[in-house]
Amino acid sequence: MRILAIGDIVGRSGREYVERNLNKIRRRFSIDFVVANAENAAETNGINPEIAGRLIDRGVDVITMGNHTFSCKNGEIAVEENKRLVRPLNFPPEMEGRGYVEIDVGYATVAVINLVGRVNMAPADCPFHAVNAALKKIDSDIIIVDMHAEATSERLAMGHFLDGRAQIVFGTHTHVQTADEQILPKGTGFISDLGMTGIKNSIIGTKIDIVLDYFMKSGKRVKFMKETEGEVRLSGCVFDIDNRTKKVTAVHRVNIEGEQ
């Protein structure tokens, strides 16, 4: 089984690139299952029902979110209605949506769990305790975890915490792809950050001039606007899993540009 994990989809440019090209990418790389983080897919961050529906229709099997889950109007409706859209498991239980989903692909069941970190992030319950409790309920052949967090150390800690208990742990949120893809000692495929799917010539998807102005004026309050012009890069990681043993056999970073 070959699984593609796509880094944070940013704005209209990122999501439309995925919509146009994902099925071709699936064929090109012989992808069996796709999970994509889309917490920045709307223009104002977050996601709405229409965006979620289009991404699923165009080839994403499961959408994960993060700290911006409810930043968009109708975000609550999206996470309630779309059963393939998951929000962080360690959000308060009163919040709309679900923290994991299990998908039957015919020859295997795949569980996708979404977590959010606590280092330099908004308050949330402990992701380590939350995922520990969830694993006692999940009965899937393959377990994938999106650890949406600011700190690389927290993401790597989650990788080791789940080593041998989940097939795949990847990080999202910082939009910059890391070069630490690996198979951890007990067999879990890991990367600290998948990167970003959005305009290549930007600062993590945002217009360069706006971000420079923010830093040069000592954090002056500005309205961050997503970059909409230029070439899009899809960043992520491909994980190969042996169909018999359900073990990860290879981890490959991917960066795809241009129309497929």
Catalytic residue annotation: 68
DSSP 119: T
Q: Which residue, 44, 4, 53, 12, is CA-closest to 223?
A: 44
Tell me the C-alpha distance between 153 and 117, whole Å.
10
Separation in Å, CA 44 to CA 40, 41, 68, 71, 74: 8, 8, 9, 7, 12
In 3-state terms, what secondary structure has residue 56? helix
CB 6, CB 34: distance < 8 Å: yes
Chain Cα centroid distance, residue 16: 17
CB 145, CB 169: distance < 8 Å: yes
Tell me the C-alpha distance between 88 and 97, whole Å.
9
| Amino acid sitting at position 189 | G
> Which helix (DSSP H) or strand (DSSP E) does residue 17 occupy?
helix 11-28
